[in-house]
Structure 1
Amino acid sequence: MAASATGIAAVLCDLDGVIRHWDRRVTEDMHRRHGLPAGTLEAAAFAPERLLPAVTGAVRDAEWRAAVREALVPVCGSEERARVLVEDWSRHPGRVDEESLALIAEVRARVPVVLVTNATDRLESDLSRLGIAGAFDAIANTSRLGFAKPDARVYAVAAAMAGAPAGRCLFVDDTPANVAAAEAAGMHAALARGAAGLRTALAPLLG
C-alpha cells in the first residue's frame, strides 16, 4: 500500500488504553459485591510473575485465570468465593472507544493499521465479542509471538506485518516504556490515551 504524504507508511496501534477501555466503576462494583478492597483482583491478575507468562504464550489464558483464582483464595477466604470472583471478572471483555475506532477506520483508508498488543490467547475471542475483529489489517498478539512489548522483536514483527520499514511506521501506545522502545527501534512513536490522544498522534494522517 502506498505511503502517505507524511512519509508514514503504516500505523502500529496498541489496544488497551487506546481503543479498548476497562470501566473502573465495573471493577469497583465487583469488589464491593465480593466484599474485597479495591484493587485486590488487579493485584493478583497483573502481578508480573503471573501476567508475563500469559502474554508471551508460556501459559494459556485459562491457566492464567486459574493461577489468579488460586492467588485470591487466601484473600477471599474460600476457593468457591475466589472462583465466583474470577468468573465474574472474566465475563467482561471491556468496551470499545467508538471515537478511537472511527479514527482507525479513517487512517486505514490511507495506510495499513496493525494492532500490537500484549495479550493472552483470549484476544481473538474478545475482539470478536467486541465486534472489532476486522477493524485492523493484521494483529500482533504477543501470546502468539512468544515475546511481549517492549521487546524489540515485537516491533520488527509488527512492521513486517504492515509491510513497511520501521522508519516509516508510526507506533501508538499508552505505556511510556513501549513508546520508548519503538523509538529505539527507529519508529515514529506517540504516547496516547483514549481518542483525544489518538487523534493527536494520527493528526498527520487524518484528512
Structure 2
Amino acid sequence: MSRDRAQALLIDLDGVLRRWDPAPMIAVEVENGLKPAALLETAMSWDIYRPAMAGEITDAEWMELVASRLPLDIEKARAAVAQWQSYRGEPDPEVLAFVREVRAAGRKVGLATNATDRLRGDLEALGLTGEVDEVISSWEIKAHKPAPEFFEKACEIAGFPAKVVLFIDDDDRAVRGARASGLSAYRWSGPEHLSYLRKALDI
C-alpha cells in the first residue's frame, strides 16, 4: 500500500531531541551510596512513572515518591533527588538542525512526548521553546504514548490527519502505537538515518 507523503513531523524529546549524559546522574548516586541507575530505576517504576506522565500527579509529587523509596534517610533522599534532577540534559545538535531544516522546508514540527508538568520549563531552559510549532505533552492531554488517544490528540493539535504525519521515537512501543494509529513511524537509533527521514518528508 502506498503512503501519502508526510506533511508534518512529530518528534519525541528524550532520546531523540534531548540527550542525557549518564555521568552527572551516576555521580549523584555514587556520592549518596546508591548503586548506579538506582534513581532512574526507581523513578521509572511503572506504578509511579505512569501517573506522572498521565497528568495525575505533579513532577514534584513523583520525585517525593522516588525519595520515599530510596534506602536513605528521607531528608538525604530528598537532597539526592533534587541534585539528580538539577541536570536536565541537552539538545542533540544534529537533531535540532534537522528540525530547523524541516521547518524551513515548510513542514510543521510538533514535539510529541511523555512528560510531566516540568516540560515547559525544561524546553525554555534548553532553548527549545521556539524550535517547534506545537508541544504535545502527555501530562497536558492526560494520555501517554503508546495509547491511541495520545496519537489522535497529537495529530489533532498538529492539524494533520494521521496518514500524512511522520512520527520519530526511540521507543519501540511508541513506534508500534503510532503505526497502529495510522501514522508513519520511525524508530530513532541515531542521526545516521537523517537522510532517509529527509526523503520521507520530501526535503
Which band: TM-score by shorter chain?
over 0.9
- Residue type of the partner of 1:100? V
Q: Paired residue for 1:121?
A: 117
Aligned residues between the structures: 199
1:107-146 to 2 correspondences below 5 Å:
107-109=102-104, 110-146=106-142
1:119-198 to 2 correspondences below 5 Å:
119-198=115-194
TM-score normalised by length of structure 2: 0.93
Q: Paired residue for 1:29?
A: 27
Name the CA distance, whole Å, in 2 between partners of 1:104 and 1:198: 11
Q: Which among 9, 12, 19 is matched to residue 11 of structure 1?
A: 9
Name the CA distance, whole Å, in 2 between partners of 1:33 and 1:199: 42
Q: Paired residue for 1:96?
A: 91
Secondary structure of the residue aligned to 1:140 is strand
- Superposed displacement of residue 206, structure 1: 6.2
- Superposed displacement of residue 108, structure 1: 1.1
Name the CA distance, whole Å, in 2 between partners of 1:200 and 1:90: 35
Q: Which among 97, 100, 109 is matched to residue 105 of structure 1?
A: 100
Secondary structure of the residue aligned to 1:100 is helix
Question: Structure 1 residues 206 and 30 mapped into 2: Cα distance closer, same or farther (>3 Å)?
Answer: farther
Q: Which moved further from structure 2: 133-142 or 30-39?
A: 30-39
Query: What are structure 2's unaligned runs of at least 5 residues?
Result: none
* Residues 1:48 and 2:43 aligned together: no
What is the alpha-carbon root mean square deviation over aligned residues? 1.4
Contact 2:166 2:185 in 1 (8 A): yes
Segments ≥4 residues shifted beyond 2 Å: 193-207
TM-score normalised by length of structure 1: 0.91
Query: What are structure 1's unaligned runs of at least 5 residues?
Result: 1-5
Name the CA distance, whole Å, in 2 between partners of 1:192 and 1:160: 23
- Superposed displacement of residue 168, structure 1: 0.5
Secondary structure of the residue aligned to 1:186 is coil
Q: Paired residue for 1:3?
A: none
- Superposed displacement of residue 27, structure 1: 1.6
- Superposed displacement of residue 80, structure 1: 2.0
1:11-61 CA distance string (max 9 Å, x none)? 111000001011111222221111211111012111010111011110011
Q: Paired residue for 2:81?
A: 86
Q: Percent of pairs identical after alignment?
A: 36
